[in-house]
Amino acid sequence: MSDMFLRRRSIRRRAFDLLTAGVCRSGFLFSMGLIVFLIAQIIFRGGASISLEFLTSPMRDGGLSGGILYQICGTMILIATAGSVAAPLALGLALLETEYVKNMFARRTIQILIHSANAIPSILFGLFGFFALVKMAGLQKSWLAGGLVLGMMILPTTAVAVKEAIDAIPSAYREQAIALGLSKPKEIFAVVLPRSFFGLITGLLLGLSRAAGETAPVMFTACVFYGPTLPHGIRDEPILSLPYHVFNLAQDSLKPQAMQNAWGASLVLIMIVSCLSLTAWGLRRHQMTEAWR
Instruction: Confirm or reject binding of residue 159 to other proteins (CB under 8 A).
Output: yes
Instruction: By CB under 8 A, name the one of 69, 191, 208, 212 that touches other proteins.
Output: 212
Q: Which of residues 12-31 bind other proteins (CB under 8 A)?
A: 13-14, 16-17, 19-21, 23-28, 30-31
Report 44-73 residues binding other proteins (CB under 8 A): none
The secondary structure of the chain as a DSSP string is: -HHHHHHHHHHHHHHHHHHHHHHHHHHHHHHHHHHHHHHHHHHHHHHHH--HHHHHS-EEGGGTEE--HHHHHHHHHHHHHHHHHHHHHHHHHHHIIIII---HHHHHHHHHHHHHHHHS-HHHHHHHIIIIIIIIS---S-HHHHHHHHHHHHHHHHHHHHHHHHHTS-HHHHHHHHHTT--HHHHIIIIIHHHHHHHHHHHHHHHHHHHHH--TTTTTTTB-SSS--S--SSSS--B--HHHHHHHHHTTTT-HHHHHHHHHHHHHHHHHHHHHHHHHHHHHHHHHHHHH-
Among 50, 64, 76, 110, binds other proteins (CB under 8 A): 110
Q: Which is nearer to other proteins, 75 or 287 (CB)?
A: 75
**84 is an interface residue for other proteins by CB under 8 A:** no
- Considering only 64, 76, 117, 283, the residue that binds other proteins (CB under 8 A) is 117
Examine residue 162 and tell whether it contacts other proteins (CB under 8 A).
no
- Kindly state the smallest distance separating residue 216's Cβ from other proteins, in Å: 4
Using CB under 8 A as the binding rule, whether residue 168 contacts other proteins is answered as: no
For other proteins, which residue of 59, 93, 208, 239 counts as binding (CB under 8 A)? 93
Nearer to other proteins, 65 or 274 (CB): 274
